[in-house]
A and B are shown apart, each in its own frame.
Chain A
Amino acid sequence: MYIISNAIKNLFRNKGRNILIAAVTLAIIISAVVTLTINNASSVIIDEARLDIASRVDISIDLFTHGRDGRQTITVEQYVSFADSAYLRHTVFQAEMQAWFGNFFAVGDFEMGLTPPPDPNMPHSPVGKLTGHSEPSHISGFGTYRHFVEGRMFESINEAIITEELANLNSLQLGDIIHIESAFQHGKHFELEIVGIFSHEVDEVEAFQSIVWEMMGFSLPSMISQNEIFTSFETLMSVGWETADGLDMRLEYYLRNPNDLVRFEAEVRAKGLPDVFGVTINQAALDRVTGPLEGMRSAAMTFTIVILILGAIVLVLVSYLAIRERKYEVGVLRAMGMERGKIACGIFSEAIMITALCLIIGLGAGSAIAQPMADRLLAGEVETQAEAVMGAEEGGRVLMSGGQVQTDDPASGYRPISDIEVAIGMDVIIQIIFIALALAAVSSVIGIIRITQYEPLKILRERA
C-alpha cells in the first residue's frame, strides 16, 4: 500500500518530468481514440454495406468471356432451385419476358401491334416487356422517376401495372383486362387486370439516346420504357416455362454471410450451373459505396500506427531520461533496503496512474474530436472519389432494350457513403485500455529493467 501512496506523492514531486510523459501519453491516447473510433465506426458501416451489396449474388453469363453462348443451358427451374440454399437469407425473384401485346397497342407501334403474325407458331416481334417481381419494392424508379397516377401496386396473381402513356394510347383504365403473350414461346399468354397506372419520366439522356436510336432506324417499341408492364413473379411463372427463351431471369440471391460466396457457388455448380455462368457480387458497387470510408479508415490506421510508433519512441526516450534522473532515488531506496520488485512496482504504478489520468482525459477529448475529424476526412475522400468516377457514370450510359437507360458501369446508381456517425463504444474503450497499458509498460519497463540492475552502492558512489 505504501508503494502506491509513495507513487502518488512521486507524481507531484516530479511534476515537470511527469507532465512531459503525460503530454506524450495523452497525445498518443487522443490520436488512438480518434482513429480507433473512426476505424470501428467505418468498419461497422463497411460491414453493413458489404452485407447489403456484397451479399447480393448475381448468376449470369459472363458476356465478355463467353458471349451469349450457353444461354439456353439453364432452365427457369434451375434459377429458382438455386434459391433453395442454406447460405441464403433471402432471394428476390425477377424476370423479364419479351412481350407481344394481344389486344392493345404499344407506344410507337401503330401498325404492328394488333397485326397477327403470319404464322402463329413463329416468334412475334416483341413490342414490350412484361416484368415479374417477387418484391414490388425492388422495382427501380418508384419514388424517383416513376410515380403512380392512379391505382396501386399489384398484389395478387394476374394483376399488373402499366404506364400512363400506354393507358392513354389505348384508353385503358383500372380494372381493364389486357392480353399479353410471350414473343418467343407460343402459347404462353396472360390475361392481366390493370390495378395501377404510373408515370415514367424520361430524363434528358434517355430522351437524347431515343432520338439517336430513332435516327439510326432502331426505334423498336420494345426498346421504349413506356411499354414495360409490371406484374408479380408468381404471375409470370404461372404459365409454366420449360425453357428460358424470351425470358431474362434476374434473380438476386442474398447471402447470409458475404464470405459464403465460394461455398454458394460450389452448391449451385453442383446443381448444374454451367461454367459459362458467373456467380458474382457487385464488387464495383461495393468499392464505390465503401471506397471513401476505406480510404478514411486506411488513413486513420496509418496515422494511428505512425503515432503509436513515434509516440512509443518518444516515450521510451523520455522515460529513459527520467529514469536516469531517478537513478539516485532508486539508489537511496535500495540502500534503505527496498526490494527491486517493490521499486519496479512503484515506478510501474506511477506510469499506470499517469496513463490512467491520460486515458480519462484522452477518452473525453478524443470523443469530442472524433466526429469533426471523421467528417473532414470523409468529405475529402468523397470528393476525391467523386472526381474519379464522374466520367465513368456519364460516359458509360447506353439505351437498352425496353427503353431503359443503363450504363456499362456496374456501380452506376451507387453513391459513396458520405456521412458517418462516430461514437466511442465499449470495443474502443477496451482497445484503448490495452493501448494505455502497453504505453504504461513501455514507459516503465525499459527504465525498470535498466535501473534495477544496478547495485545501490554503485548508484550512490556515482552520485558522490
Chain B
Amino acid sequence: MSTLALQNVTYKYEGSSKNIFKDVNMDFEKGKVYTIVGKSGAGKSTLLNLLAGLDTATEGSVTYENENLAEMNRNRYRAKNAGIIFQGLNLLTNATAIDNIVLSMNISGVSERNKKAKTYSLLEKVGISKEKATRKILKLSGGEQQRVAIARALAHDPELIVADEPTGNLDKQTEDSILKIFSSLAHDEGKCVIIVTHSKKVTNIADEMWGLDKGVFRQMTKDKK
C-alpha cells in the first residue's frame, strides 16, 4: 500500500504555459528505496519539491497516507512526516551543526529529553565528530555540510525521506556509509526513501528506479540504466 502517491499530477511554473511534467502517476511505498534519475533541468527537483510539500501541483494531487498534501497543513507534514535533504543543503550557515539539528527536532516537536545526545549520535552515524558538531556550518567542508543536512533530515525520525543528490559532495567511503544508512532506513526501519540522483552507486540501492525525460516518468529496470 502506497504511503505517498502522485495522481495525474501536472506541473508548470507560474506564468508559464509549458508543462514540466504531465499526468504523472506514481506510488511510493514504505520499506523501499526509490531513485529518480534524469537529465539536469528535467524536473526531478521540482518533483521532489512536490513530494516534500514545498510546492503544489498545477493539476492532480499528491497524497500522503491518502490525504491530499494541498489540503493538509504542509508545515506540519514537513516538520513531522518528511525528512528533506535539499540539493543546496539549506542549513543555517551561522549556526553550529548541532544547533541545526536540535532546532529541527524542536520544530518537529521531538519529545526526546536529551536532544543533544541524540544529535551527537546522529552526527556520529553520518561521520561528523563531536568536535566538528560544535562548529559553525560555514567552517565545515562541503561534504561535512552534506552529512549534517542528512543528519538533520533524519533527526525527527520521519516516515518519508526525500533527498536531492544527497551524496553529491561526499567521498567514496562516506557515500557508501550514507547509502547504507538510507538502505537500512528503508529495509530495516520500514521508511520510504526517495532519492533524486545522478549517481549509479545510489541507484544500486534502489528498489525502484524512475526516469524522467521530456516530462514523462518511466519506471526503469536496473538493467536499463
Contacts and interface: CB of A to CB of B under 8 A. Distances in A.
Given A9-B99, A13-B94, A463 B88 contact: yes
A176 interface: no
Contact of A332 (B76, B79, B87, B92): B92
Nearest to B79: A337
Contacts of B107: 2, 333, 336-338, 342
A156 interface: no
Nearest to A12: B94
Interface string A270-300: 0000000000000000000000000000000
B157 to A, nearest CB: 14
Interface of A: 2, 6, 9, 13-14, 329, 331-339, 342, 455-457, 460, 463-464
**Chain A contact residues: over half helix, strand or loop, or mixed?**
helix
Nearest to B75: A337
Nearest to B78: A337
A331 B55 CA distance: 13
A335 B79 CA distance: 8
Interface string B65-101: 0000000000111111000101110111011000100
Contacts of A6: 103, 106
Given A336-B79, A337-B76, A460 B90 contact: yes
Contacts of B75: 334, 337-339
A337 B90 contact: no
Contacts of A456: 54
Contacts of B86: 335, 460
B49 interface: yes
A294 B87 CA distance: 66
B167 interface: no
Given A331-B90, A457-B54, A337 B95 contact: no
Contacts of A333: 92, 103, 107
Given A335-B90, A337-B77, A337-B108, A13 B55 contact: no
B104 interface: yes
Contacts of B95: 9, 13
A326 to B, nearest CB: 10
B99 A332 contact: no
Contact of A335 (B78, B87, B103, B106): B78
A331 B89 CA distance: 12
Contact of A464 (B55, B77, B78, B88): B88
B88 A460 contact: yes
Nearest to B108: A337
9 contacts: A335-B90, A336-B78, A336-B152, A337-B77, A339-B75, A342-B107, A455-B54, A457-B55, A460-B86
A337 B106 CA distance: 10
A307 to B, nearest CB: 32
Contacts of B77: 337
Nearest to B88: A464
A16 to B, nearest CB: 11
Given A329-B92, A333-B92, A464-B87, 8 more contacts: A335-B84, A336-B103, A336-B108, A337-B75, A337-B76, A337-B80, A337-B107, A337-B108
Nearest to A333: B107
A20 to B, nearest CB: 16
B183 to A, nearest CB: 25
Nearest to A6: B103
Nearest to A337: B79
B106 A2 contact: yes
A324 to B, nearest CB: 15
Interface in B17-62: 49, 52, 54-55
A336 B55 contact: no
Q: Which 6 A-B pairs have the closest CB atoms?
A: A337-B79, A337-B78, A2-B106, A13-B94, A457-B54, A337-B75
A275 to B, nearest CB: 78
Nearest to A339: B75
B99 A336 contact: no
A336 B52 CA distance: 10
